[in-house]
Amino acid sequence: MGIPADDAAAEFHDFFERHYAELARLAHMLTGESEGADDLAADALVAMWHRWDRVRAAEHPPAYARGVVANLARSRVRSAVRERRRIALFWATHSGWADDPDVPTVVDVQEALRTLPFRKRACVVLRHAFDLSERETALALGVSVGTVKSQTSKGIAQLERLLGARVSAELVGGRN
């Protein structure tokens, strides 16, 4: 038997107020798109509302919410990649334009993060931008702590190659 509807709505509203901004920021960092981050966070919260009885019974509802955002972001990124490939195929037959230049003069952090495979990016963002523990990150992504450790380490190494060790150390606060 579930909780009364008014109590559930109030509880969800409180959860929404406490976590919406964090979820939108996570969505932005995972997708690299500021425009769609709010929508993605809202979509995640709508999905959670539909399963609120199950979510509120979870051991860590905020970790569950981060996992929902991460899964939606992964789907959105994959869709965008597929769309870019279709567009690139179309333009490749019609012009000599290259959509991925080899020589960027400046690589900012968001561009560097976008180059990481999704799981590495998610681990780095959750560990260092959101300051989650390895365990919290593992819960959010539905992976083992060992996976979080290895993916974070590999992601940081890749960022160091792209941004330089000094910039990477500043980005992650000098910790691995």
**How does pLDDT run across 28-60, given as a tens digit for each residue?**
998 888 888 999 999 999 999 999 988 888 889
32/164: higher pLDDT: 32
As a residue count, the chain comes to: 176
Give the domain ranges of the chain: 1-98, 101-176
Most distant CA pair in the chain, distance: 63
Q: Which CATH architecture has domain 1-98?
A: Orthogonal Bundle (1.10)
Answer yes or no: is pLDDT of 111 > 90. Answer: no
The overall average pLDDT reported for the chain is 79
Angle CA 103–88–92, to nearest 5: 90
CATH code, residues 101-176: 1.10.10.10
Most confident of the following: 16-25, 152-161, 166-175 = 16-25
Question: What does the DSSP assignment read for 19-64?
Answer: HHHHHHHHHHHHH--HHHHHHHHHHHHHHHHHTHHHHHTSS-HHHH
| pTM (predicted TM-score) | 0.57
